[in-house]
DNA sequence: ATGGAACCTCAACCTAACTTGAGGTCAAGA
DNA sequence: TCTTGACCTCAAGTTAGGTTGAGGTTCCAT
């Protein structure tokens, strides 16, 4: 065990699978705030591995860096986040995931209905045809998902 | 009924809810190919409304313009697409949607498991911790979705 | 104490999917 | 015929999420 647990950016990159430039980019976006050595090099806490892992996971779940920053802002200040802190965030993301899944399922069901009636090209389908009943609601096929 | 069913770009924009510049952009990407007047103005077929509506729908389902172009390439050449043509494409997109939904559901289930064990911040979670059993598989939390 | 790997900043580049603006042309109703 | 709104092209700008390269500095094992 080293007396000093601070990691240089290269180590953090290896541990998270991120590129060094991506980590610097996240810093520039305010997602992570490393310390600096006297020589201006970044030094990260071990808990920053979790933080970056979380960013990777959340991205894969479809969140933008902005949304992720919002989630990370819920972590405690001045104290290393513990299991409960991360669990709270995970739960909140789970809700977003559920919503996204539900939305896609709605879209799929609508598409299913339209396969049945062939409406993507038929004049008399109210779902897709802006000339028909929905014309007053504004143009386009927006309705499918909304 | 006009003798001539060709539409100028502005009409098409109004009918689809797209901006004029977006339609021009789609043309530049090969997604749509209007005729031209003697004075070089675009003139679109009525069936192009469907085509653009389809682009809008597919985008909302998460397809990129490139993927959409791939789908549109399946439409018949030289003949106005009919209900069956569009239905075939819809079905293919439905499959992609199903896959996407399944992937998100897998991700959510993994996340659920991790809320239970608090692993986003615990050293002993093999799912998220690159130092543990999965270390040999390369760094990072990639595992969650893959 | 030294040499090279690893670090630093800053600017420029990249893709996707568009928008905006400049400068100029077309077409259709009065 | 004239006027004016709609159209044209082409270049540059925008946001997200980064990468790449130039030119220079720091750290640490020997």
Question: Which domains does chain B carry?
Answer: 3-116 (1.10.1660.10)
Please report the pLDDT score of residue B71 as a whole number: 93
Residue B4's φ and ψ, nearest 5 degrees, are -110, 120
Return the structure tokens found at B23: 């339609």
The DSSP string of B9-42 is HHHHHHHHS--HHHHHHHHHTTS---EE-TTS-E
The residue that leads in pLDDT, A61 or B25, is B25
DSSP state of A76: P
Question: Which pLDDT does position B74 carry in this prediction?
Answer: 92
A30-46 confidence digits (pLDDT tens): 999 999 999 999 999 99
- Chain B residues near residue A57 by CB distance under 8 angstroms: 111, 120, 128, 141, 144
Burial class (CB in 10 A: 0-12, 13-18, 19+), A137: exposed
Would you say the pTM of this structure is higher than 0.85?
Answer: no
Q: Hey, is A32 helix, strand or coil?
A: coil
Extended beta strands in chain A, E state = 35-36, 42-43
Q: Which of A1-5, B25-29, B125-129 has the highest mean pLDDT?
A: B25-29
By CB neighbour count within 10 A (0-12 exposed, 13-18 middle, 19+ buried), where does A124 fall? exposed
Q: H-type helices in A73-135, by residue range? A: 83-117
Residue A75 token pair: 């972590």
Task: List all residues of chain B from 22 to 41 with a beta carbon under 8 Å from chain A.
Answer: none
Mean pLDDT of B64-88: 89
Q: Is the pLDDT of residue B145 over 60?
A: no
Taking the CA of residue A17 as centre, how many other CA atoms within 13 Å lie in the half-sphere pointing to its CB? 20
Q: Report d(CA B109, CA B143) in Å as an integer.
A: 13
Q: Which nucleotides of strand D lie under 7 Å from a protein CB?
A: 6-9, 16-20, 25-28
Say if A125 is an interface residue toward chain B (CB within 8 Å): no
Q: Give yes or no for residue B34 having a pLDDT over 90.
A: yes
Q: Between residues 45 and 84 of chain A, which touch chain B (CB distance below 8 Å)?
A: 47, 49-50, 53-54, 56-57, 60-62, 81-84
A144 and B82 within 8 Å at the Cβ level: the answer is no
User: Which range has the top average pLDDT, A80-89, B38-47, B49-58, B72-81?
Assistant: B38-47
Mean pLDDT value of segment A105-114: 76
Integer Cα distance of B36 and B44 in angstroms: 9
């Amino acid at each position: 065990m080293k007396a000093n647990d601070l990691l240089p950016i290269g180590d953090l990159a290896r541990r998270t699978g991120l590129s060094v430039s991506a980590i610097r980019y996240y810093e520039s976006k305010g997602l992570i705030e490393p310390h600096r050595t006297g020589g201006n090099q970044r030094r990260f806490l071990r808990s920053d591995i979790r933080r970056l892992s979380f960013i990777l996971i959340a991205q894969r779940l479809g969140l933008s860096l902005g949304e992720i920053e919002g989630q990370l802002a819920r972590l405690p200040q001045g104290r290393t986040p513990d299991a409960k802190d991360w669990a709270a965030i995970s739960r909140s993301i789970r809700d977003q995931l559920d919503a996204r899944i539900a939305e896609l399922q709605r879209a799929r069901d609508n598409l299913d209905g339209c396969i049945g009636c062939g409406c993507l090209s038929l004049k008399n389908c109210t779902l897709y045809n802006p000339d028909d009943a929905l014309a007053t609601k504004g143009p386009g096929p927006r309705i499918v998902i909304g």
